Amino acid sequence: MLRPVDLDPALIGHPLPWDVYSEAGVLIAGAGLVLADAAQFHRLASRSLFRESAGRGGEEPDSPPRRLVTVARQAADVLKAPDASVLRLLAREFLDLRRGDADACLGYATLVSLARPALGHALRVLFVAAVLAESLDFDASEQESLAAAALTMNLSSLDLHDRLHGLAGDLPEAQRGALRGHPLAGAASLERAGVKDTLWLDAVRQHHENLDGSGYPAGLAGDAITLAARILRVADYYCAKIGGRHYRPPKAPGFAYQELFGREKGRLDSQIATLLLRRMGLYPPGTLVRLANREIACVARRAPGGTPRRAVSVLDARERALEPPQERDVGNRNYAIIGSAQREPGWPAIDWMAVWGYG
């Protein structure tokens, strides 16, 4: 499996330690090539570069996915006692990790069940919202603010959102009221924690407002809702559908789009939903799919337009574990995606690091 690599300027004057490929898997520079000067280095480093996985047991301890696991644990602790500057640093760290390997970050947020479901959902929203903010030309500071808002949008009701994940019946009336009040309560908690960023605070306050005025807590409509809040609303809705609950399995992204362009049309921002579809596609990284050869695979890499490029088969046609998992080029008709798959209770756990080339 190919995975992204950033070239270190320290390589100038030294041989490349590994082969370097384009996003499409075309060899660009072979291992041993000496980068003679800064100009040659910058010509190579300006491209999107990939290298082969180090293999199981061969991955460096500070690789992006391992760092992602560590930062997610730190986030769980910080959300218990929020501090504005630390939350901002966490948002920046998640965005830095995403820049290192966006597909792996999406896969982690989709596949890994965290101890706190509310945090898992927040990370899914953060990474999806980052895709949208980048496409809408948010600058670096605005992207950080939106990422911080995604991380903290349910700050005042994390325990309640954890319970909602496992709730089998209707929500009690008392908890329903707490749920409707959580955007304002969350923003108030952030202000007490030292947050003064209006983009961040408004996005948290408004992330359940609808364009037609049917949302809460203020019943805002149209342009009264900030762009950041509209992005967060679409990302939150989409991630809730694909994330599942105790009483229903995760839905395929296609189902989420049907809802966004059907039942939710006119309530949520359709232009943002359209952008989400164009950037993420029907099979974003982390989606389980069935291939033409009947294997069950996990989408690992996508082209810039959201089209799946590579998947890793984890189960054979009889749904037995493939050991090791097998990389498939879904552009090959023998391995073409024929539909989404839903994880069954008896399936083995998926080694998400191995799927994205981090052994």
* DSSP assignment of 16-36: -SS-EE-TTS-EEE-TT-B--
List Cβ neighbours of 9 (8 Å cut-off, separation of 6 or more): 38, 41
pLDDT tens, residue by residue, 134-160: 999 999 999 999 999 999 999 998 888
For range 314-330, the mean pLDDT: 92
pLDDT at residue 252 greater than cutoff 60: yes
Lowest mean pLDDT among 125-129, 167-171, 191-195, 280-284: 167-171
Q: Alpha-carbon distance 258 to 265, whole Å? A: 10
Q: Is residue 12 within 8 Å of residue 37, measured between CB atoms?
A: yes
What is the reported pLDDT for 42?
A: 85
Percentage of the residues of the chain whose pLDDT score is greater than 70: 92
Q: Alpha-carbon distance 105 to 67, whole Å? A: 11
Q: Is residue 186 within 8 Å of residue 177, measured between CB atoms?
A: no
For range 174-198, the mean pLDDT: 90
What is the reported pLDDT for 167?
A: 65
* Average confidence score pLDDT of the chain: 90
pLDDT tens, residue by residue, 207-218: 999 999 999 999
What is the reported pLDDT for 254?
A: 93
Counting DSSP H helices and E strands in the chain, the numbers are 13, 9
The model's confidence at residue 62, banded by pLDDT at 50, 70 and 90, is low
pLDDT tens, residue by residue, 93-105: 999 999 989 999 9
What is the reported pLDDT for 23?
A: 76
Q: Alpha-carbon distance 278 to 260, whole Å? A: 14
The model's confidence at residue 47, banded by pLDDT at 50, 70 and 90, is confident
Nearest in space to 233 (alpha carbons), one of 247, 218, 216, 250: 216
Nearest in space to 228 (alpha carbons), one of 139, 102, 356, 165: 139
What is the reported pLDDT for 142?
A: 98
What is the reported pLDDT for 168?
A: 59
Domains observed in the chain: 2-52 (no CATH), 64-280 (1.10.3210.10), 288-355 (no CATH)
Beta strands across the sheet bearing 321-329: 321-329, 308-315, 296-302, 288-291, 337-340
pLDDT tens, residue by residue, 30-39: 888 888 888 8
Beta strands across the sheet bearing 2-4: 2-4, 50-52, 20-21, 27-29
* Residue found under tokens 């149209």: 222
The model's confidence at residue 66, banded by pLDDT at 50, 70 and 90, is confident
What is the reported pLDDT for 174?
A: 64
What is the reported pLDDT for 85?
A: 97
pLDDT tens, residue by residue, 269-316: 999 999 999 999 999 999 999 999 999 999 999 887 789 999 999 999
pLDDT at residue 249 greater than cutoff 70: no
The model's confidence at residue 56, banded by pLDDT at 50, 70 and 90, is low
